[in-house]
Amino acid sequence: MGTQKLVCGLFLCFLAFNCFTASGSQPKRKLVTEEVNVLRHVSKQLGKTNWNFSVDPCSGKGNWARPSTDKGFQSYVECNCSFHNNTACHVISIVLKSENLSGVLPPELHRLQFLQQLDLSRNFLSGTVPSKWATMRLEGLALMGNRLSGPFPKVLTKITTLSNLSIEANRFSGTVPPELGNLINLQKLIISANELSGELPKTLAKLKKLTDVRISSNNFTGKIPDLIWKWTQVEKLHIQGCSFEGPIPSGISALTSLSDLRLSDINGRISFPPLSKMESMRTLILRNCSLYGNIPGYIGDMKKLKNLDLSFNSLTGEIPSSFVQLKKVDFMYLTRNMLTGPIPTWILKTNKNMDISYNNFTWESSGPSECAQGSVNVVGSLSSEADKLSRVHSCLKKNFPCADPSKKHHYSLYINCGGKEAIVNGTKYEADVEPRGASMLYLTQTWAFSSTGNFMDNDVDADIYIATNTSKISIPDSELYTTARVSPLSLTYYGLCLINGNYTVKLHFAEIIFTNDSKFTSLGKRIFDVFIQGKLVMKDFNIEDAAGGPGKAIIKTFVAAVTNHTLEIHLYWAGKGTTSIPTRGVYGPLISAISVDPNFKPPSFGDKNARVKIIAGVLAASFMIILVLGILWRKGWLGGKASMYDDLRGLDLQMGYFTLKQIKAATKNFDAANKVGEGGFGSVYKGLLSDGTVIAVKQLSSKSKQGNREFVNEIGMISALQHQNLVKLYGCCIEGHQLMLVYEYMENNCLAKALFGRDVQSRLKLDWPTRRKICLGIARGLVYLHEESRLKIVHRDIKASNVLLDKDLNAKISDFGLAKLDEEDKTHISTRVAGTIGYMAPEYAMRGYLTYKADVYSFGVVALETVSGKSNTNYRPKEEFVYLLDWAYVLQERGNLLELVDPNLGSEFSVEEATLMLSVALLCTNASPTLRPTMSSVVSMLEGHTAIQPPISGHGLSSASSRYKSTRSNFWQCPSQVSINGTFSDSSESIQDKEESEILLMKNSVISIQ
C-alpha cells in the first residue's frame, strides 16, 4: 500500500514538471518587430510622446491599454495575435482621440497591413492625407476635428474596403471627386463642416449601402441631387446649411428606413416632401426649406417622433388635429410660418417644449390672453386682427407693440446677456440669468427675449443656455464677457416701449467656448446670422474671425430706426459651422451684451400731454425743416458747398456718423498703403475701427466734378436700403470740407478687377459655381431694388466695377451715386443720360427713356462678362464687332454660344448652366425694353423654377433693323459725342446726371418719420 502511494506521488510530480516545462518553453506572443518600428515612426510624426516601447504594444499594459475615465478621450492600440500558431501579433486598430496631437498624418501607417480601424478624431493634426495610404485596407477611418486641408483627398477613394469614413470639421476644399462613388462598401459618410463646393457627383448613387450620411455646412451649389433615392438603407441624413436649391427630390419617399432627417436652409419655393412611409422617424427637421402649403396630417402618425422642427417656412392652414397623437414628442418648433386657425388647446396645456410663435392664429376666448413664461412659446403668434383686442397681451400681437401706451418713453437699453447685473463705465447693464431656452419668452418691463431650440446630439439631460468662459478673458469690461446667452436655433431680444427714432445699437460678442491655444478645442467654428428690425445686418458672422481670436471682445455697431416703439434683434443659426467641437452639441448664436442709445436728445418728460406735444412738435419741426431745405435746394438757393455740409448734418438718416478723427485713426491718416481704389468720386481707403470692424472709406476728391450731388444721393439711397447683395453703408463723415462714406470692407475688391484687371496677378481664379453665384447675387440685389424695397430704385450704373466681392465672393451692388427713384405711377422717367458706355440700354442712352429695364440690360452685359471673363467694352474679337455683346449675338445665331465661356475654366463648368446663363444674358440685352424680362423672372429662370423664354429674332443690335444699326454706328462707335465728367480707375466711365438729389432725401426722411 505504501509502495502504491509512492508511485502515484512520483507520477503526479512528473506530470506537473512536464506541464511546467511545456508552458515555460512556449514563446511569448508579441507584436512583430517591423510593426513596432512603424509605431515608433508614427509616434514621432503624430507627436505622440508617451508611448512606452519598453512594453510590448500588444500586451494591453501601460499606456497601450484601452481604459479611459475622461469622456471623449481614448488612447489604445488593439492587436490580433492569432497568427503563426498564436505566436505573432499584428496591429488591427489604433484609437487616439482628443489627445491634441499636433503633428501630421504618418505615411508609414500604410506598412501596417492588417490595420482595420484608425481613429484620430479631435486632435490638432495638419497637412493632408498621404498618398501612400492608397494601399491600406482600412474598414473605418475617423479624422474628425483636425486642421487637415487641401482638396478632397482622392487617395481615400482608393481604399475600397472602407465602410465608415469621417472627415468632419476639417478644412478640405474643392469639389467632391466622382471617384468617391467607388467606395461601394461605405455605410457611414460624414463630410460636414468643411469648405467643399460645387455639385455633388452623380456617382454617389452607387453607394447603396449607406446608412448614415452627413454633409452639412459646406458650400455646395445646385439642387439636392435626385440620386438620394438610391440610398434606400439610409437611416440618418443631414443636409443643413449647404445653400442647396429646391425642390426636395420626390425620391426621398423611397428612404423608408429614415429615423433622423435634417434638412435646412434650402432656397426656392418647395412643396412638402412625401414622407408618409417614414414609420421609424424620431427626428424630423425641415427648417427654413422654403416650404409652402399645409402641414400633412400623416406627420401626426409618426409614433416614434421625438423632435419636430418645421420652423421658418411659409406653411399655411391649421395645425393638423393628428398632432395630438404625438405622445413622444419632446420638442416641436412651428415658429415663423403662416399657420392659421385657433391655437389647439392641447398645445397650451402641454408640458413639452413647443414653439408656435410668429404665425397668424386667430384668437378665441379659450385661447391665450398672455404669454406664459413656461415651455410653450406663443409670442407674436396671433394674426393682425388681434391688434385691436385690449384683453390680449401685446406679446401675442404682431411686432410686440408696447403694452402700456403711457410708458412709451424709454430711450436706452443695456443687457448683460447670460450674466448678472453689472456696472460698466457708470452704466448699469441689467441681469439676464434665465437658465431655460428651448421654447420660451422671458419678459421684463423694458425688454424681453424669445429663445427657440434644443442642442442636438449632446447626450445631456438638460441643455445649458448660458455659457461660461473656458478661454482666458483679459479684456476691458470683462464682466460683460465671462458669460453669454447661447441658442441652438433662434434668439430674439426686444427693446420695449422705446421712443420712436434712430438708435445706435451695439452688440457685444466674445467667443468664450473655444480656446486660444494649440488644442482641438480651438478648432470650433461658430457661424450665425444677425437681423435688426427684420433686416439682415450680418450674414455668416463668426465671432472669432471678427475679433481676431477667442476670448477677445468685438462690438458691432448699427443704426436702427424704431417706428412702432419696439426694437427687435434676432440671431439665427443657419446650419453652418462646427457642431462637434469641443463636444457634440456646441453651435448656434452667442451674444454677451446689448447696448442701445438714442441718436437724438432725449426729451425731458413732464405730464402726459407735454410728452405728446413734445413728440408731435419734434416730428413736425423735422418734417418742415427737411421740406424747406429741399425746396430751397431745388430752387438753387442752397447751392454753396458750406451750406450743403450744414444741411447734411441736419438730416436724420438711418446710419451712423463718424468724426474725422475716427476716420483718420482707422485709415492711419489716409496712409497710401491703405488705399484700395480710385474712382470718379475720389479715393477709397481700407480702415480699422476701434471695435475691430474693417471698413472702406470713400473720400470725396476736391477735384471731383461728380462728388457733391452723388454724395447726397448715395447717402439718401443706401440709408434706406438693406439687403445681403447690396454693399452696407455704416455711415458718413461730414466735417469741415470733408465728405466721406463709410462702407463695409469688401476683401476681394470688384468683379471687374477679379475678371479682367490690368494686373493679371490680381485677377481671381473664379470657378463656375462662383461665377454663377455672383450673377445670382447681382440679380437678387436688383430684384430688391426694383420690386421689394420701400423705395423702388433704378440703379443706372450696373457694371462689373460696381459689383463688389466679399471674402466669400458674394456679390454686392455698390455706387448708388447715379441711382434714381422709380415713381410707381409713371411708366418711365425722362432724364438726362447718366451711366457707363457699353452698359447703358439703347433707349436710355439715345433718348433718356429710363425704366428699371435699363438695369436689366446692364445686368445682361455683366452676366455676359462674368461667364466669358472678358470686358464688353475692351474685347474686340474681330474688327467689325464693336463689343463683346455683338460677338455673342453672332455666336448665338450660329449655335456656338458656348464659345463665349472663359477658356480658363477648361471643361470644369456645367454646360447646361452656362448655356442658361448666356441665354438669359442675351434675353436681358434685347434692344426692346418691353421684351426684356423683369429681374425676378431672371432669378426664377436662373434657379430653374421658370423655363427660359425663347429667343426672339432681331433682338440684338447686330441683327436688328437698319435703325438700330445706325444707332450703333452713331452712338456706340462715337461715345465722345456725349459729355463725360469724371474718370474711373477701370476703363468704364460714368456719365454724370445733372438733376438734383434732394427730393430723394426728403422722401426718405418722410418715410423715417412715418
- Which amino acids are annotated as binding site for ATP, given as ranges? 698
Long-range contacts of 429-437 (CB under 8 A, 24+ apart): 429/480, 429/593, 429/595, 432/485, 433/466, 434/465, 435/464, 435/465, 435/466, 436/465, 437/463, 437/465, 437/485, 437/487, 437/491
Residue type, position 826, single letter: K
Question: Is beta strand 439-443 parallel, antiparallel or unpaired with respect to 447-452?
Answer: antiparallel
Those residues with Cβ within 8 angstroms of residue 472's Cβ, 6 or more apart along the chain or in another chain: 516, 551
Cα–Cα distance, 416 to 421 (Å, whole number) = 7
CA–CA distance, 232 with 909 (Å, rounded to integer)? 30
CB 480 within 8 A of CB 429: yes
Exposure string for 648-657, b = 16+ CB within 10 A, e = fewer: beebbbbbbb
What is the rounded distance in angstroms from the CA atom of residue 451 to the CA atom of residue 437? 5
Sequence letter at residue 807: K
Catalytic one of 355, 797, 815, 822: 797
Provide the annotated binding site: 698
What CA–CA distance (Å, rounded) separates 912 from 362? 47
For residue 794, what are the β-bridge partners? 820
Count of alpha carbons within 13 Å of 476, Cβ hemisphere only?
A: 5
CA 739 – CA 760 distance, rounded (Å): 33
The Cα–Cα gap between 972 and 964 comes to: 11
- Measured distance CA(690)–CA(670) in Å, rounded: 16
Residues in the chain: 1010
Beta strands in 825-917 (DSSP E): 829-830, 835-836, 849-850
d(CA 335, CA 492): 12
Does 797 qualify as catalytic in the annotation? yes
Query: Rounded to an integer, what distance in angstroms lies between the CA atom of residue 202 and that of residue 891?
Result: 31
Distance CA 149, CA 846 (A): 54
Give the Cα separation of 713 and 707 in Å (integer).
10
Amino acid at 414: Y
Please report which helix (H) or strand (E) contains residue 440, including its range: strand 439-443
User: What residues form DSSP beta bridges with 213?
Assistant: 189, 237
| E-strand stretches of 721-864 | 729-735, 738-744, 793-794, 803-805, 811-813, 820-821, 829-830, 835-836, 849-850
d(CA 559, CA 554): 17
From the list 219, 180, 183, the residue with the least C-alpha distance to 202 is 180
Q: Is the dihedral of CA 582, 584, 587, 591 positive or negative?
A: negative
Distances (CA, A) of 520 to 144, 472, 515, 998: 10, 16, 9, 56
Element (H, E) at 569: strand 567-572
Q: What is the DSSP string of 44-72?
A: HHHT-----TTS-TTS--GGGS----STT
Residues 625 and 642: their CA atoms lie apart, in Å, by 17
Task: Report which of 307, 218, 284, 293 is spatially closest to residue 574, judged by C-alpha positions.
Answer: 218
Parallel/antiparallel/unpaired status of strands 694-700 and 738-744? antiparallel
CA 702 to chain centre: 39
* Residues forming the active site: 797
